Amino acid sequence: MSRARADEEEYWHSSKFRAFTFDDEDDELSQLKESKRAVNSLRDIVDDDDDDLERVSWSGEPVGSISWSIKETSSSSNSSLEGRDSSLQKGSSSYAAFPKQVSSYSLSSLFKGALCLSLSALSDTGVKNYAPELRRPKAEYKDYSSDWSPKDTVRRMQRGKVCSLERFRSLQDKLVLLDEAVAGNDGNVITAVLIFLKRTLRREILFRELEVRQVALCHLIHFLKESGEQKLLLDLLRFLDRTEEVALSQYREHLNIQDVEKRREFLKGCIGLPFSAEDTSHIQDHYTLLERQIIIEANDRRLEAAGQSEIFQKYPRKASILNMPLVTTLFYSCFYHYTEAEGTFSSPTNLKKTFKIPDKQYVLTALAARAKLRAWDDVDALFTTKNWLGYTKKKAPIGFHRVVEILQRNSAPVQVLQEYVRLVEDVETRLNLATKYKCHDVVIETYRDLKDRIQLTAYKCKVERGSADEEKINSILNNMVRNAY
The tens digit of pLDDT for each residue in 367-421 reads 999 999 999 999 999 999 887 777 788 899 999 999 999 999 999 999 999 999 9
pLDDT > 90 in the chain, percent: 41
CA distance 222 to 37: 61
* pLDDT classification of 13: cutoffs 50, 70, 90: low
| Residue 78 scores a pLDDT above 70 | no
| Residue 448 scores a pLDDT above 60 | yes
Residue 365 CB neighbour total at 10 angstroms: 24
pLDDT > 70 in the chain, percent: 69
Torsion sign (Cα): 330, 335, 339, 340: negative
Supply the mean pLDDT for the chain. Answer: 77
Report the pLDDT value the prediction gives residue 219, as an integer from 0 to 100.
94
* pLDDT classification of 277: cutoffs 50, 70, 90: confident
Q: Which of 74, 53, 88, 66 is nearest to 18 (CA)?
A: 66
* pLDDT classification of 103: cutoffs 50, 70, 90: very low
Query: How would you class 180 by CB atoms within 10 Å of its CB: exposed for 0-12, middle for 13-18, buried for 19 or more?
Result: buried
Mean pLDDT of the 214-225 span? 92
Report the pLDDT value the prediction gives residue 190, as an integer from 0 to 100.
93
CA distance 107 to 72: 8
Report the pLDDT value the prediction gives residue 385, as an integer from 0 to 100.
86
Q: Residues, the chain, total?
A: 485
Task: Indicate the Cα dihedral angle 336, 341, 347, 351, nearest 10°.
Answer: 160
Residue 360 CB neighbour total at 10 angstroms: 13
Q: Give kind and range of the element (H or E) at residue 142.
A: helix 142-145
Give the helix ranges, DSSP H, for 240-358.
Answer: 243-251, 260-270, 277-306, 310-314, 326-336, 348-354
More confident residue, 225 or 127: 225
**Is 280 within 8 Å of 271 (Cβ atoms)?**
yes
Q: Evaluate if pTM is beyond 0.85.
A: no
